[in-house]
Structure formats: C-alpha cells, structure tokens
Structure 1
Amino acid sequence: MQPAPSAVGIVVSDMAASLAFYRALGLEVPDEPAPHVEIPFGGLRLLLDTEETVASFDPSFTPPTGNGRVGLALECGSPAEVDAAYERLVDAGYRGHLAPFDAFWGQRYAAVLDPDGVGVDLFAASS
C-alpha cells in the first residue's frame, strides 16, 4: 500500500495571525489558537504548527522563511508502512530528515526531504 495524501502542513511564527488569515479566506478555523491546529481543506487537512511545536520534536529545526514553511504529510496504513516508506526513499537516494520514531502524540512518524528540500512527513496511528 502506498501512502495517501492526507494533509498539508505549514509552520507558523504567529498562530493567532495565521488563524485570522485562514479564517478570512473562509475556512472553518477554530476560535482559539493552539500549538497545533487542523483545518478542513478540500478533502485534506491544513495543519498549522507553531515553530515551538516543531522544535519540540525536531532538534535540527530552525525557523524557515518563504516556501520553507510548507510541508506535505502523507498518511501510511500502519506504523510498519511508515518504516518501509522511509527506508525505500532513503535507499533510493533521497535525504532522510527524521528517522521513524514513536511520537508522543500517538503516531509513528518520520520525515524525508524532496529534491528541493521540502519536508515530506510520513505518519500512521500507533498500534
């Protein structure tokens, strides 16, 4: 089984300002800012994470500028599929960014970089 597109993630420097912007666009945005916010987005989810949230699990994180704030998140069918997809991509010569790990928020999680350095997260609910 191949990973399925599930969400687009954006790292934000000011969550309240970002929520106001996406609310102004007409999206269904929660009223209260939080370190992680999920917004319905045309069959996908738009995931907004504060810089502090990302830094809490990625020790190499530095706040990006411009396009560096956008990443893709692909949902895998199982934790084992996260590991297999990560290994397949790294073995094919793509850069691994975060080796698979069991995240404190209840997912198996990994990240690779596309050829331009855009982050692609691989995740599945932990069993």
Structure 2
Amino acid sequence: MNTNITPRFDLVGIVVSDMAATLAFYRRLGLEFPEGSEDQPHVEAALPGGLRIAFDTEETIRSFVESWEPPRGSGRIGLAFHCETPAGVDAAYEELTGAGYHGELKPWDAFWGQRYAAVQDPDGNGVDLFAPLPGPTA
C-alpha cells in the first residue's frame, strides 16, 4: 500500500429491511433516488459536499455474509438533517409524523442553540432535524 494515499470518507451505508419504505421516508427529507429504485438491492444518493448515502437490503448483505443478522435495538446509527429555520424543523417533524413515521422527540429549543427534533426511519434508525435558533438581538 502506498503510504502517501490517505483514504477519504465517501459513503454512509445503511442496511434496510424494506427498500421501498426506506426510500419513501428519505425522499420526504429531500434525498433523490432514480425511478424504480424501490425494487433494487442497492441504492445510492449524492449528498451535498460529495458524500453519498447508500442503502442495501438485508438480502444483499446476506448474499456475501451468509450469517448476517440485523442488529437488535435502536440507536445504532444517527443521521441529521439541517432544516434552515426553526419553523422548518417543526414542518419536517409534522410532515413525517403525519405520514406515520415514529416521532422520537418533539421539536424543542435545545440549550445548545438549535431547534431540534428526532424521528425514526422505517428500520428504527434515529434521524435528527435541526436548525439554528436566532441569536440575541442587540
């Protein structure tokens, strides 16, 4: 291995139990996937800044790791979506929970200066919604 080459973080991969349900959830958060992706075993989306997110079905993972089993419990991975404004956090939370997704934490003004909320994707992964709160006015 050439020691002058530094690996570059490029992709977040998530194993999903239902590709169609997962893509429907993340489309509501603004991610774009090609038409017909719901039936694919592996789907990717480009994220701002060049990072990518990829979803693989449980069957895809088992195709090369036969003994793979889904992890138990929640909180295995956390993703966060910047909503631009505090009202955007509220709107995204209401839209997602109104569509039937589990709301883990209702929007609130966090002590660290953000409007903050949390929902779960169809596999129970945590998805945070946040926006900076307005600063003090002089």
TM-score by length of 2: 0.46
Q: Name whichever structure is richer in strand by fraction.
A: 1
TM-score by length of 1: 0.50
* Higher RCO by CA contacts (8 Å cutoff, separation 6 or greater): 1
Between structure 1 and structure 2, the one with the greater Rg is 2
